[in-house]
Copies of this chain bind each other. A is one copy, B any other.
């Protein structure tokens, strides 16, 4: 931790009494380095990055947190604001730098940095600009923490997770996009709101929003259950009429709810903060839980035509993606998934990832 310089010489003799307040006991061994020292680096100290950092801290997920951003003053301000909470948090080393060396030895690197869409800008152009940014971010991250897991949050997340995979040279199980993990939370919230149940009881233990994070996401209605009761077959048995359009409206509402928040408060932060912290916990604590996150989907569900990342129900643990759940999809759902893959592949083919 960078020592505050103005106090490091406290008076003429300094106040260097670090070792004076505590006496070691007889024949003590020197402090043994703890084997379990968890370090997370967050790249991007904007609203999203800071919400993620703060939630991770509050949930006591790490021993060390490193922040990186291109703006040194903003970065230092955010670091100090977190450090000032020291008396209220477990002892966590919090430091920040514009230099990536500070991320060395991370177990998990979370990338939130990204250009925002300029009004009228094409999606491809936005991706191209973010590709240029990722070329500055991903290679040093990979170099300083060659064994870490990369978690990409920046949008468009599926394409950028592919980019991160290519630029890092990591095996695909260690490169994950936050994908539809949050969409699924919003979906559960909407359903729970109507069914008057706890959102966590709206089981989507397999997944229900998959595919591309965004407009063409796929809601796996066939997999959703409430309290263990599959929703669709329940409705059919009860002969409760519903129309596919109705379900599609709910899915659209999930997609639009992100835009709604952005229109109202200018950006989203809290929900993605919780979502990313939730993923961090499953990964670093080896929880082996299943999350809908953006993973290498090539070869699954008939997805071919090239390497593509999109959200599928993936089991996450300390080694990253352990596997993808073998969900049974309806023909229609599988087709939607392949359409999502085709859309993403088309965009990717127009990118210039020169190093590969």
Contacts and interface: CB of A to CB of B under 8 A. Distances in A.
Given A20-B238, A194-B8, A250-B10, A270 B185 contact: no
Given A7-B249, A10-B249, A83 B189 contact: yes
Given A193-B3, A234-B21, A271-B82, A263 B77 contact: yes
A337 to B, nearest CB: 22
Interface stretch (A86-94, A313-321, A347-355): A86-94
Interface in A112-139: none
Interface residues of A, number: 88
A18 B246 CA distance: 17
B253 A15 contact: no
Interface string A1-25: 1011011101111011110111000
A196 interface: yes
A11 B245 contact: yes
Interface in A224-240: 226-227, 229, 234-235, 238, 240
Interface stretch (A53-61, A98-106, A170-178): A53-61
Interface string A269-298: 111011101100000000000000000000
Contact of A194 (B3, B55, B188): B3
Give the one of A3, A193, A268 with max B CB within 10 A: A193
- Oligomer copy total: 2
A197 interface: yes
Interface string A304-333: 000000000000000000000000000000
A242 B16 CA distance: 11
9 contacts: A7-B194, A7-B253, A15-B194, A18-B195, A77-B264, A77-B266, A81-B271, A82-B270, A84-B261
6 A-B pairs with the lowest CB-CB distances in the bound complex, closest first: A77-B264, A77-B265, A11-B246, A84-B271, A87-B185, A86-B199
Given A7-B249, A15-B194, A87-B184, 19 more contacts: A6-B249, A10-B242, A15-B235, A15-B240, A18-B195, A21-B197, A58-B58, A58-B274, A73-B263, A77-B262, A78-B264, A78-B265, A81-B269, A81-B270, A81-B271, A85-B274, A86-B189, A88-B185, A91-B198
